[in-house]
Every structure is written in C-alpha cells, then in structure tokens.
A and B are shown apart, each in its own frame.
Chain A
Amino acid sequence: MTEALKLTIDRRDALAVIYTEGYINNQGGEEIARAAYELIEAGYKVLLLNLTGTKIINSIGISILIEIIEKMLEVEGKLAFCALTPTIEKTFHIMGLAQYAAIFGDEGDAVAGLGG
C-alpha cells in the first residue's frame, strides 16, 4: 500500500544526519532505529533526524524514536530533529518529546545548534 520508508545517511565529522522519506510507522521506525544504532556503534554521539521527506508518522513509529532517545541518553549523546511538518512538531510537543530531543526549524539551525 504505502512505499517503505527510504533513508539516506550523511556521516560527518561531528554528527550524522539521517534523512527520511515516507511514512514513519512501525517498519519505518525500525529502519531508523537500525540506522541509528549502527551510527552509535560507529562512535557517533550526535544524530540529527531530518524529516523533510516525511509528511506522516504514527505513534508506533514515534515510540521507536523514543527508544532511540533512550539509547542516546545511555551513551550521553544527543538526538535532534529538524524540518518537521507543523503537525508532527505539534505532536512531538503534545508527547513531551521536545524535553529530550531538540527540535530545529531547518538543518542549518540544527547543525549550528548541535555544534556540528
């Protein structure tokens, strides 16, 4: 029915950016988690999720993002988000996610804010 979520990963010196394209449901969330855990294993402690290409997400997908936030806290790292639709950003605020993961308007602001 819906196409699988596509991910693109940009590994930089100080952080890695994961770009998403498509619906973040349970499978999409698992894809992101797999990518994030590989990056953590590779030594990245700052991850930025750029959701420019994602217009819809569900609570199961977000729950998996919470698992990634927990993992980042364990390794004393940071997960941040940028380029959210207003509805996805509102949803993250409803859930309180912004207390644990910074939300930036665009990637430039995020990279500057994260010291990348």
Chain B
Amino acid sequence: MTLLPPTREVTLILPMAPDMEIVASQAASAMASFVGMSSDRVDEVRMAVVEACINAFEHSRAAERKVDITFRLIGGGARPERLEIRVHDRGVGFQPAAVEEPRIEAKIKGDRKRGWGLKIIQGLMDEVEILSGSQGTTVVMSKSR
C-alpha cells in the first residue's frame, strides 16, 4: 500500500471588508517563510496576495461577500519546494483575455489610473493562472523557494 502524503494546505475565509487583504497578506507571509523563501520573495508573495484580494473585493460583485484563500505547500519532504495560493471569489466572473494590459504612458495621461492588479501579480509570482466563470474567479499563483 502506498501512503499518500498528508494534505498540506490551509484555507482562510475572509469577509470582503476594509483591510482584510492585510490579514491575508500576513498569512501569506507566514506560509512563504515556512517554505524557506528569502525575505524579499516573502514580501513579493505578500504583495501579490494583497492585489488578488483587492481585485476580488472590488470587481467580483459576489453576493456572498467572502473570499477563500487556500495556501498549498507543494513538493519536498520536510521542506516544501513551492507555495501555491488560490484566491477564490464567488462573483460573476470575467474574461481574462479581454483585460487590456495597463501601460504607464496611457495611465499617466488618461482618466483611469487603476487596473494594475493582475500585472503586478504576474510580475511578482513565478506562475499565475486565472480561472473565471459564472461560479466566480480563482487566481492561482505560485512561487518556488
């Protein structure tokens, strides 16, 4: 019989309320530190989680004003090699391909300065995938040690 490794994941369910992204970022910081990331990489994870939460809070239009954040430790024995984070809302979803990449030249001159969240997440994490549909949106992001 093959023993499966124990599931190493933690899920937080947070209300979409002011500053809850900071609570999520503190958990992200603890998990990234546990993986053994450098302090700079821990900070990058922390900031990416803040952005994913803010996107969910602001754009999901979820009737149930909650966001699920799952931290999953991947690979390795005693010390995992990678941290995967899933930020899930039960909102209306969107088409990721339809999101225009923000450009600073246009933002400086334009009326709408916002819309940077996904670009920041993609720049700070190793891998990012957006799963979105009528059941909501999940940002799946990971970073190695």
Contacts of B116 in A (CB 8 A): 59, 62-63, 95
A85 at the interface (CB under 8 A from B): yes
Question: In the complex the two chains form, is A85's CB within 8 Å of B104's CB?
Answer: no
Q: Which of A62, A64, A87 neighbours the largest number of chain B CB atoms within 10 Å of its CB?
A: A87
Interface residue tally for chain A (C-beta within 8 Å): 29
Interface residue tally for chain B (C-beta within 8 Å): 30
A112 at the interface (CB under 8 A from B): no
A52 at the interface (CB under 8 A from B): no
Question: In the complex the two chains form, is B43's CB within 8 Å of A66's CB?
Answer: no
A23 at the interface (CB under 8 A from B): yes
Question: In the complex the two chains form, is A73's CB within 8 Å of B108's CB?
Answer: yes
Question: In the complex the two chains form, is B46's CB within 8 Å of A56's CB?
Answer: yes
B10 at the interface (CB under 8 A from A): no
Question: In the complex the two chains form, is A91's CB within 8 Å of B50's CB?
Answer: no
Given A58-B50, A58-B51, are A67 and B104 neighbors across the interface (CB < 8 Å)? Answer: no
Question: In the complex the two chains form, is B44's CB within 8 Å of A87's CB?
Answer: yes
B24-43 toward A: CB 8 Å interface, digit per residue (1/0)? 01000000000000001001
A94 at the interface (CB under 8 A from B): yes
Closest 10 CB pairs of A and B: A96-B104, A94-B123, A1-B19, A87-B43, A63-B113, A59-B116, A63-B114, A66-B113, A86-B40, A2-B19
Which residues of B approach A to under 8 Å, CB–CB?
A: 18-23, 25, 40, 43-44, 46-47, 50-51, 54, 102-105, 107-109, 113-114, 116-117, 119-120, 123-124
